[in-house]
Chains A and B, each alone.
Chain A
Amino acid sequence: MVALVAIVAVLLIVISAVQTLKIAELWAINKGKVIYEVTKKQNKTQALLMLVFLVAYFAFFAWQVWKWGDLMLPVSASEHGVITDRLLNITYAFIIPVFVITHIFLFWFAYKYAYNSNRKAVFFSHSNKLELIWTIIPSIALTVLILFGLSSWNEIMTPVDSEKEHVLIEVQAQQFSWNARYAGTDGKLGRAGVEFIEGVNAMGVDIKDENSKDDKIVRGEIHLPVGVPVQFVFRSIDVIHSAYMPHFRAQMNCVPGVKTQFNFVPTITTEDMKKITNNEDFNYILLCNKICGAAHYNMQMDIIVESKEDYEKWLAEQKQFAEN
């Protein structure tokens, strides 16, 4: 019944719209107009709307920054993240003026040069000088951005010097949870593969490998010591996942059949970040950021950054693989 009423209502609306249009067109023809030509009045209105839109668009942009600016990620909790954020700000310094200036020209010209039968458009088909200018200026700006970008990229992607003190953690993704394994006292991760997965050995660690014995497998949360480089190795046992740690400006895909890696130095403990964000419940998280199945939206693990002492105390409490 509701559907029937809805259909009838839609039909009536369409019919009345058709009739209204017909009447409007007959009216215009009666007045001797070519009815599909944009009238002077319409053209003026549209020109004015160009200006209105320009202002409204900028106002909307500003309103969003004002309203949502403080929802953005807090200051970076990793060493390289500071570089990332600086690069982002440099890029903003380029693109926001470009965005604003080109929009002003675009809509201002549209408004200013609306049709006027007393005026002739200027036949201006090219100017090598102008075109050269606006090829060269973006080229220079981009050279700067590319240089900044590539030097940051190289810095971020350089692996941890294995001679120096660091923490080695393997993170394994599967539908829809994360497991992690710490390298233990020998600093080496034992062999692992899907063929070894059995019962409690969900990460598929090879029991026979000497290096496996002191490895420590943890679930639910990982702990990181502040100020110490952390080398992550990522694996996946089913589909592609992505280990995303937004507060550390860190992300790397977890690909079945391939080991990937990422490293960073955490710089702010969880406790300090609670104060910075003014949020007692704040927690660093690792979340999945590559479509991986029905429960992709809920695949997370907590990350706790703490002092080196607390971290070592926590790690000592974790069982070695051989003990299981």
Chain B
Amino acid sequence: MTSLVSARGVSKHFGDVRAVDNVSFEIEKGKIMGLIGPNGAGKTTLLKAVLGLTDCDGELSVLGLDPFKQRKELMQNISFIADVAVLPRWIRVTQLLDFMQATHPNFSRSRAEELLARTQVRRDAVVRELSKGMVTQLHLSIITAIDARLLVLDEPTLGLDIIFRKEFYGNLLNDYFDGERTILITTHQVEEIENLLTDIMFINNGGILLDTSMDSLSGTYVELAVVGENADKARRFNPIYERDVFGKKVMTFEGVDRDQLDELGEVHTPSVADLFVAKIKGAAA
């Protein structure tokens, strides 16, 4: 079984609101999947369902388990950070390490100590005394010291400065990710993780807009910058989205041959952020 997460027709309704609406996808072992969507798109609800924090309709299997019913077993092989660093404010760093060691069979204390040694977090500090960045560093150190088959990160670097963010993603790729592990990550700062991801999934209004590997992205999506009358010629290829940049028309195409567009202007692969906007706006238009 290579599929770590498998969703078939997963839905979650809150009254009349369809937070997640009939969603199907697979996440395979060894992938770094970016889940990207605007606020209120259903990202967090979907992640909660994957983590067994909320129940849902449809078929959802994570590591071959029903996440809601077999939560305890699941949590032994999953580690996650929800939304922002939410460590209890009263706990001491050493107490936190003691507790993790006692309750988590896959937690490596020496690994956590090693990761903490690289930070400014003192071992005898109480969480309350730490800055927000340090709390996040502590939380990330603990979570990544768990030998988990699936790591789920929901906005892990929210509120952190750029230096720390770069460092975090660098460590994640170099130290944590080994091709055996799988990471599911959501963030607003798409640009920063673009090079990290192997797969992306766009979600909006509770549905999946795009689910593809980064490798196949350049084959499917093309961005073209044109001026003047070439714009009209380009429009005949049905761009999914069009915007103005410094007097040029920038159009995004799906499934159009690069060579056909090449003679009309500058052609390149859209960034994930631009593609995201194109897909969301294009779907709305």
B and A form one assembly: no
- Name B residues whose Cβ lies closer than 8 Å to a Cβ of A: none
- Name A residues whose Cβ lies closer than 8 Å to a Cβ of B: none
